[in-house]
Structure 1
Amino acid sequence: MSRTIALLTDFGLDDPYVGQMKGVLADKAPDSRIIDVSHGIAPFCISQASFFLAAAIKHFPDDTVFVAVVDPGVGSGRRIIAAEFGDTIVVAPDNGIVELAEADYCGTMIVTDLSETANQMRSSYTFHGRDIFAPIAANIACGSSLEMLGSKLPLRDVVRTGLKKPLWMENGVEAVVLHKDRFGNLVLNIPENQIMPERMSIPDKIPCVGIDAGCVRRACCYAELESGVLGLIVGSQGFYELALYQGSAAEKLNFGPGDSLVLKWGGI
């Protein structure tokens, strides 16, 4: 039985791209289960892709092969890598997608540079997901060893963007929005093990209709929040999120994946 293959892309579902990738996988790894993590990553948003990947890995079989394709550098000289987290393998462009997964992993990530193998494959310049990533993932799922596909890459050479490190200041923190979910909650790159104050504010945000950005309150769940009060809650994916009770914090604040915001200690 081939290994499970999990797909994570920014391709959406309106075009034939996801279907073509699945067609390649079905042809080359017919015994593999193919599971969609998401194809709704905001276009080119590596920070959101990194969050989705880190959040998903722990819920899949240990020997899953993830194919993570959010690839603004497609067709360029950027590397293609396979990152090992124990028995789990992530095939991805070397652009920071694996960063949060590495931060969450209790062991040492091992990385193989697949670029030489990729360069020997016939492909378009614009769709490496179908022409390179899917065939390589299928080969791995069917038993090909990474030693046959490339050489090890020193961890110091792996691209990282600093996503796992909020910028801590004397009286606050600058955070990055990793994800805006369909309820309008804004997931930040602040891990759940960080102790946060009871009251904060977003000092640079102009007042919004129906909410006061000068008051952000820590809460355990959405229902603890009063109407129109912004809350900072530990979400189910292991990171803090900004939320409104039965409302959209993203809509009110006009923040989305990749945006930075400052939380200042204290508030009304």
Structure 2
Amino acid sequence: MSHSGILTLLTDFGLSDPYVGVMKGIIAQVNRSLTVIDLTHHIPPQNIHLARFALMTAIPYFPARTVHVAVVDPGVGSDRRPVAVALGSDPNAPMGFLVGPDNGLFSGVLSQYPALEAVELTESQYWWTATPSSTFHGRDIFAPVGAHLASGVPLQKLGTTIAVDSLVMLHSLTPQRTKHTLTGCIQAVDHFGNLVTNIPASEVNGQTWYAVVKDVTVLGRKTYSDSAPGELLAFVGSHSWVEIAVNQGNAQSVLNLGIGDAVQVILNQPHSSQGD
């Protein structure tokens, strides 16, 4: 069975401490020929929701069989399970693997792609140490397990099989649709303060539309240049979700909104002049 030899890392560790470098050192001791790619280490501390979104949107851009190690783990040291998950529908050709805590971090990916198989990481011969730290499973469990998996160790050898439907899911509100409205919520706030909703592009493509948040009307545009500097706009972002932004500004600060707050999209209807 061929493997990509690619391993990605996503954490909330930042880069001012040696934590990420230590994880890479462990990976190199398992297999120094692996290609290790940093997705991001600047997830805000313990922000599982943003990590969920970042991982979900990154997965499609990697080759089959890439191993994604993600560690945003406020429950480290508790009874939350360390897991590895194979993605896809073909047992002979998984599209990729996830390694990390079973705390909902993987629920965005699992809402887009089926889980083929999952194991709880119980086989300590694939850990860095059989007595892992209660605060650094990224070093002691997830990094070495990810490296072994990317090097060709079968998923089944890494632990005890668990039911894929037992994996923890963070259920973002499913957008509710009527004839002319979509009601959803903000699922992520990016570095620029853009508010990424859970309303997919497919719901608005080819239609005239606008968004309403906090009784403020935000016109649907194609791109930033269709609005004046400082103006609120709504558009389909590169992630293929409806976003709300401020041209050359920060929508989160302007609107004082965050993850879970409600957003409504109005389709093919005249808009009022309020608040835009």
Deviations 1:153-189 (A, max 9, x none): 22321111112x43527655240331322x3222222
Q: Is 1:146 paired with 2:152?
A: no
Deviations 1:98-149 (A, max 9, x none): 21212222xx312322242259832110010011101111111121111111
**1:1-268 equivalences in 2 (<5 Å):** 3-85=5-87, 86-105=94-113, 108-117=114-123, 121-163=130-172, 165-168=173-176, 173-181=183-191, 183-195=192-204, 198-203=209-214, 214-256=216-258, 258-263=259-264, 265=266, 267-268=272-273
Cα deviation, residue 264, structure 1:
6.3
Give me the whole-angstrom Cα distance separating, in 2, the residues matched to 1:267 and 1:131. 57
Give me the whole-angstrom Cα distance separating, in 1, the residues matched to 2:4 and 2:223. 41
**Secondary structure, aligned partner of 1:18:** helix
Residue of structure 2 equivalent to 1:209? none
Contact between 2:4 and 2:64, CA under 8 Å: does it hold in 1? no
Give me the whole-angstrom Cα distance separating, in 1, the residues matched to 2:265 and 2:202. 19
Contact between 1:235 and 1:241, CA under 8 Å: does it hold in 2? yes
Cα deviation, residue 226, structure 1:
3.3
Contact between 2:230 and 2:248, CA under 8 Å: does it hold in 1? no
Give me the whole-angstrom Cα distance separating, in 1, the residues matched to 2:79 and 2:111. 26
Contact between 1:180 and 1:250, CA under 8 Å: does it hold in 2? no
Cα deviation, residue 38, structure 1:
0.3
Give me the whole-angstrom Cα distance separating, in 1, the residues matched to 2:109 and 2:123. 24
Contact between 2:102 and 2:168, CA under 8 Å: does it hold in 1? yes
Q: TM-score scaled by structure 2?
A: 0.84
Measured on the aligned residues, the alpha-carbon RMSD in Å equals: 2.3
Cα deviation, residue 197, structure 1:
6.0
Q: Which runs of 5+ in 2 are unaligned?
A: 88-93
Seen in structure 2, the aligned counterparts of structure 1 residues 77 and 253 have a Cα distance that, compared at 3 Å, is same
Moved more, 66-75 or 110-119: 110-119
Moved more, 140-149 or 191-200: 191-200
Cα deviation, residue 261, structure 1:
3.0
Query: Which residue identity does 1:241 align to in structure 2?
Result: E
Q: TM-score scaled by structure 1?
A: 0.86
Give me the whole-angstrom Cα distance separating, in 2, the residues matched to 1:222 and 1:264. 18
Deviations 1:227-260 (A, max 9, x none): 443222111112111111122112212334x342
For these two proteins, the number of residue pairs brought into alignment is 254
Query: Which residue identity does 2:98 align to in structure 1?
Result: V
Seen in structure 2, the aligned counterparts of structure 1 residues 112 and 172 have a Cα distance that, compared at 3 Å, is closer
Seen in structure 2, the aligned counterparts of structure 1 residues 28 and 173 have a Cα distance that, compared at 3 Å, is same
Query: Which residue identity does 1:198 align to in structure 2?
Result: W
Contact between 2:122 and 2:160, CA under 8 Å: does it hold in 1? no
Moved more, 213-222 or 45-54: 213-222
Contact between 1:200 and 1:267, CA under 8 Å: does it hold in 2? no
**Secondary structure, aligned partner of 1:112:** strand
Give me the whole-angstrom Cα distance separating, in 2, the residues matched to 1:130 and 1:69. 10
Deviations 1:16-46 (A, max 9, x none): 1111111111111211011100001111111
